[in-house]
Chain A
Amino acid sequence: MSSTVQEKDPFKEKRKIKAVQKMKEIMTAYYIEAKTPTQQTGKKIAWITSGGPVEPLIVMDVIPVYPENYGAMIGASKMGVDLCEKAEEMGYARDLCSYARADIASATINGGPIGGLPKPDMLICCNNICGTVMKWYEVQARYFNVPLFILDTPICHREYSKEIKAYVEQQILEYIRFLETVCGKPFDYDRMQEVGALSIRGQRLWQDILDTTLHKPAPMTCFDAFFFLALIVTLRGKQEVVDYYEMLLAEMKARIAAGIGMLPNEKYRLLWDNLPIWYKTRWLSEKFAAHDASLVADTYTSGWCSSLQYVDENNFLGSLAESYTRIFLNTGTDEMAKRIIEMADKYQVNGLVLHSNRSCKPYSLGQYDIQRIVQEQRGLPTLMIEADMVDERNFSESQIETRIDAFIEMLK
């Protein structure tokens, strides 16, 4: 993370985000609770995909656990290659998603930075982010022998059709019935409304935090957003998220008021596309910073507030189907390009950096066309970085360094 700096340069100290420590505490407490045996907490554990509807789980007092968040942790702690190799020994092809490989391997040996995730009582898989998650959750359903619920959110290439709407809405009812059966208690619809309200507040605050980078210089970069994202992903619908993000937003506003940017000299503003390269966030952040280039926004972290427009505050459950189906990744390539151009305009960037991520085909295939569309419509320079989010073997440092240096030379 760019915000963890070793030497005590007073200017660097000033630019450090103070809320980092509190965030670490919240995540630690979350994982401690999740790893406490169910007999003590009385709470069941659900593994859920990052784009899945978590709010009904919170209503049912189920602890949501995110293998994808764990994948990111594995990547950031550079434990990805070992676990991916372990999965390959189990017979999983090297070309498969590295989150999936790392998680599948980790489950069998309690691997990764916190010694494995707690065993699930159920699996909730929403395929709005990819088809890969379904295959991955099938693997885990066989391994743990627990119930699997698949929320099938058809891709909206060009439209959210009435057929799709009816199908997903019907499945939301099936989801509630599934939870009632697994948890052995009725669903509390009043509580759903409260949890929904907290989820909406959390998402809005997250959007506000991301929007603080509209200011020049930006008080944070996408590398900070990659870190602060964990809360809106894992604890969406909880009061802690709202409280924490209010604090973070206040700090960002204070930074703006004091003229503190994340970079000492923000010369270029860039937009990042695709997942982070978790094992290289620090390196990339420093690399861009050394060129006075600030990555002020990204399509990834904004994904957790991208469908706010489809949420009905007065009928949260009723709008769950639409808001979880119409997310950024579950749309056509041209829709994604349109959104990227909107973001480029909004955050006033000088260029676009695309991570072509071997692990994530729905995010990456189509990027060449997006690159072309952005150039045609806005004339913005673009940089393609071929890598992988967790599997470091797919990263060529000297080549990426040359590309970044050349890209900045081109911007000059």
Chain B
Amino acid sequence: MISAGVDIGSISAKAAIIQDQNILGTHVILTGYNARNAGEQVFNELLMRLSIGPEGIQRIVATGYGRNSVTFAHKAVTEITCHAAGAHYLQPETKSIIDIGGQDSKAIVIDSQGKVKDFAMNDKCAAGTGRFLEVMARALEVDLDAFGHLSLTADNAAVISSLCTVFAESEVISLISKGEKRANIIAGIHESIAARVIAMGNRIGLQAPVMMTGGVAKNIGVVKALEKKLKTGIMVSENAQVNGAIGAALIAATL
């Protein structure tokens, strides 16, 4: 059985193809304006790379914000359920997942079978998402990819306490005008994101081992800030960004 998962997020579209519990390949592109096109494109490009024809895929599950616009999928499943399945597959001991994506962040608690026990998502206007990091990177004139490592050089993380993106941004601007070191501000931003996400996790009883998924998992600064506050290590798979697509492909295999 060969199955596929297609995860259409707000920033990037991901695809994964698996055969009998083995990952054959994964692929990521930018979502752009048209979620439906992005779904077809990411899926077709991956098929081409793996030299598989569309008829070779028996089952497809779509997930992410654009899940209902993937018309060729057999089923749409939320990214929450898919992240749980993906994390359980990548690290079977995982009990909790922190997923920070482009437009929202989630905390998910799963059982020993990889089934969702409970989850929480950020409030609409709360800071603590990939988009928020982008805005902050612009305000600080730092390349987003450099954000993580730069924050590790901080000697004293700045305090950013506002929940609201607009207020948080003005806090950051205040810090800049006070002459606070960039690294300290970035570390403060990461700590504030970590605080938000952990508060969400605490509401649903987050437990170790914790795995982090989603695009922001590539930011080592956020991961370290989370580890510091949780007082436990966090697993970050090299497949963190495509974890939802992998989960979707796994669920597709059970259809």
A interface residues with partner B (beta carbon < 8 Å): 356, 368, 371-372, 375, 381-382, 384, 386, 394-396, 398-399, 402-403, 405-406, 409-410
Contact = CB atoms under 8 A, between A and B. Distances in A.
Contacts of B119: 406, 410
A387 to B, nearest CB: 8
Interface string B203-232: 100000000000000000000000000000
Contacts of B252: none
Which applies to chain A's interface (DSSP): helix, strand, loop or mixed?
Answer: helix
B78 interface: yes
A399 B81 contact: no
B80 A402 contact: yes
Interface of B: 65, 76-81, 103-104, 115-121, 123-124, 203
Contacts of B76: 405
B104 A409 contact: no
A403 B120 CA distance: 9
B104 A410 contact: no
Given A375-B118, A402-B65, A409 B80 contact: yes
A410 B123 contact: no
Contacts of A356: 123
Contacts of A398: 65
Contacts of B117: 410
Contact of A368 (B79, B104, B118, B203): B203
Contact of B124 (A371, A386, A406, A410): A386
A394 B123 CA distance: 10
8 contacts: A381-B118, A384-B120, A386-B123, A399-B104, A399-B121, A402-B65, A410-B117, A410-B119
B203 A406 contact: no
Given A384-B120, A386-B123, A403-B121, A410 B81 contact: yes
The 4 closest A-B pairs by CB, nearest first: A406-B80, A406-B78, A409-B81, A405-B78
B81 to A, nearest CB: 4
Contacts of B203: 368, 371-372
A395 B80 CA distance: 20
Q: Count chain A CB atoms within 10 A of each CB in B77, B79, B103, B116 and give the residue with the most.
A: B116
B80 A399 contact: no
B124 A394 contact: yes
A382 B120 CA distance: 10
A183 B78 CA distance: 60
B96 to A, nearest CB: 15
A399 B116 contact: no
A250 B115 CA distance: 43
Nearest to A407: B119
Q: Count chain A CB atoms within 10 A of each CB in B76, B77, B81 and give the residue with the most.
A: B81
